[in-house]
Amino acid sequence: MKILVINGPNLNMLGIREKNIYGTGTYEDLKVLVTETCNQNNIEVELFQSNHEGALVDRIQGAYFEGIAGIVINPAAYTHTSIAILDALKAVDIPTVEVHLSDINKREDFRQISYAGQACVKTIAGKGFKGYEEAILFLKDVAKEEQK
């Protein structure tokens, strides 16, 4: 099983930006957690981060042709603005879990709208880095169910 973990704009600045909201863990720390979680569960993983909407759309579309079994996506600010990411997720029809480090439902009104989430089988918000671990394990269970 192979999954793709996609992170959107400014997530490469974790540990630097708004520590009171996103914590002190760095993007490198997040990559280690994701890689270790996948290794412990016999899951192959690719991590992808971009600050560019088109690059995120291109990577989602590419997943379709690569046999990716599931996607974990934190579209970051594009969560609230990108119909293009929503359409890409709908087009590939790969089980996708949306993850947010903070609880977007308890933040500014505009952050409570998730376009990408409309194409996802689950949304996990407000659990910090652990949300990624939960998403990975959820996709592992989804893949097991699909094999039955």
Phi and psi (nearest 5°) for 106?
-115, 15
Q: Where are the domains positioned within the chain?
A: 2-147
pTM of the predicted structure, to 2 decimals: 0.93
* Alpha helices (H) in the chain, listed in sequence order: 19-22, 27-40, 53-65, 83-92, 130-147
Active site residue 80: no
Q: What is the pLDDT along the chain (148 residues), one digit of tens a residue?
A: 999 999 999 999 999 987 887 788 999 999 999 999 999 999 999 999 999 999 999 999 999 999 999 999 999 999 989 999 999 999 999 999 999 998 877 666 766 688 999 999 999 999 999 999 999 999 999 998 887 7
Q: What is the SS3 assignment for 104?
A: helix
Compute CA 117 distance to the chain's CA centroid, rounded to the nearest angstrom.
10
The whole-number pLDDT of residue 103 equals 80
Active site residue 22: yes
Question: Of 22, 78, 115, 132, which one is the catalytic site residue?
Answer: 22
Instruction: Specify the residue for token string 């977007």.
Output: 104
Question: Of 78, 100, 115, 132, which one is the catalytic site residue?
Answer: 100
Q: What is the SS3 assignment for 50?
A: coil
Q: Which fold has domain 2-147?
A: Rossmann fold (3.40.50)
Give strand ranges (E) for 75-130: 96-100, 122-125
